[in-house]
Amino acid sequence: MTNVLITGAGGQIGTELRLMLCETYGNDHVIASDIRKSDTVDTLLDVTNARDIEHMIKENNINTIFHMAAVLSATGEKQPELAWQVNMNGLWNVLESARKCGVKKVFFPSSIAVFGPDVPRKNCPQNVSLHPTTLYGINKVSGELLSQYYYEKYGLDVRSIRYPGLISYKAMPGGGTTDYAVEIFYEAIKSQHYTCFVRKDTRLPMMYMSDAIRATIDIMNAERKNLTVQGAYNIAAMHFSAEELVSEIQKHIPQFTCEYSPDERQAYADSWPDSVEDSHARKDWSWQPEYDLAAMVSDMITQISHKMK
């Protein structure tokens, strides 16, 4: 019997992950926790409180944890102490509670933010030196290493993916650099105009949420012996510049216009690669994306237009 705990279940990924996990294991076997109450959250849990995590695991016989609670890149630069507390102490608490309580598997979300400006911009390889310049990126590199340490020292089966920017319509992202790629759809549909906080030539790796959820489930279901990457897997689906995203949206909403007013988030975006290489994920656990730019834009416009009616 799989009994799952999700932390950060009210967030952009957690919201959709919960739906998929409930479908797979049944509502009674999934505890969706977050620091804030919302429709997608069953119970309050602050990941900076180790005792509460342990209690939650024991009370519900949890054997699998998806630890999605995190402070993203832009908020992390504004509130570094909070980022450290949630991203580092939160992960420590989850791994330590999991180890003590005999949890079988933990998922830790890493990010393209682990890369710094010194990596190849195009098709950034799996194995490169990691010198991130954002605190969030530093947290994610440390998180990858800590997860690996728990696996090697204690045999705790921690699995991880380096998510690209994620695009979705069920829940809004919050506090990230790649948020423009979601906000733009709401403004395109509502007011046919968007002021984008990165330059038009800013190109980043991106992915539609349904692909990201499938990747998360697939890596957790993979045979451990097939996982050759210690740490977190690169996964890729699409990459585009802000200007290319605008052009694709204009195919559906011709009157849509966009102006560019870069703010401090431009520097975070500039420190990340344009695209990543994901052959390890494709080979080890058959990773394959379904959505490209055109399919993602078309679905986002359909879904958000429907939601806004």
Catalytic residue annotation: 136
Residue number, 56 or 165, with CB nearest to ligand AKB: 165
Classify residue 2 by its DSSP letter: -
Is the CB of residue 297 less than 8 Å from the CB of residue 248?
Answer: yes
Shortest Å, Cβ 120 to ligand AKB: 18
The terminus-to-terminus CA distance of the chain in angstroms comes to 41
Q: Which is nearer to ligand AKB, 73 or 97 (CB)?
A: 73
Closer residue to ligand AKB (CB): 112 or 293: 112
Smallest separation, CB 185 to ligand AKB (Å): 15
Chain-centre distance for alpha carbon 253: 28
Asked whether position 139 contacts ligand AKB by CB under 6 A, the answer is: no
Task: With CB under 6 A as the rule, give the number of residues binding ligand AKB.
Answer: 11
- Describe the strand order of the beta sheet including 43-44 as a list of residue ranges: 43-44, 30-34, 4-7, 64-67, 105-111, 157-163, 233-234
Q: Which of 112, 130, 167, 258 binds ligand AKB (CB under 6 A)?
A: 112
113 is an interface residue for ligand AKB by CB under 6 A:
yes
Cβ of residue 75: shortest distance to ligand AKB, in angstroms? 8
- Among 267, 269, 244, 292, which Cα is nearest to 179's? 269
Q: Does 111 bind ligand AKB (CB under 6 A)?
A: yes
Token pair listed for 16: 């959709």
The Cα 69–Cα 86 span in angstroms is: 7
Q: Considering the rule CB under 6 A, would residue 142 count as an interface residue with ligand AKB?
A: no
Asked if 177 is part of the footprint of ligand AKB (rule: CB under 6 A), the reply reads yes
Q: Which residue lies nearer to ligand AKB by CB, 93 or 178? A: 178
DSSP string, 73-106: HHHHHH-HHHHIIIIIIHHHHHHHHHHHHT--EE
For ligand AKB, the closer CB: 189 or 232: 232
Q: How many CB atoms are closer than 10 A to CB 152?
A: 10
Q: Which of 178, 216, 234, 275 binds ligand AKB (CB under 6 A)?
A: 178
Chain residues that interact with ligand AKB, rule: CB under 6 A: 72-73, 111-113, 136, 163, 165, 176-178
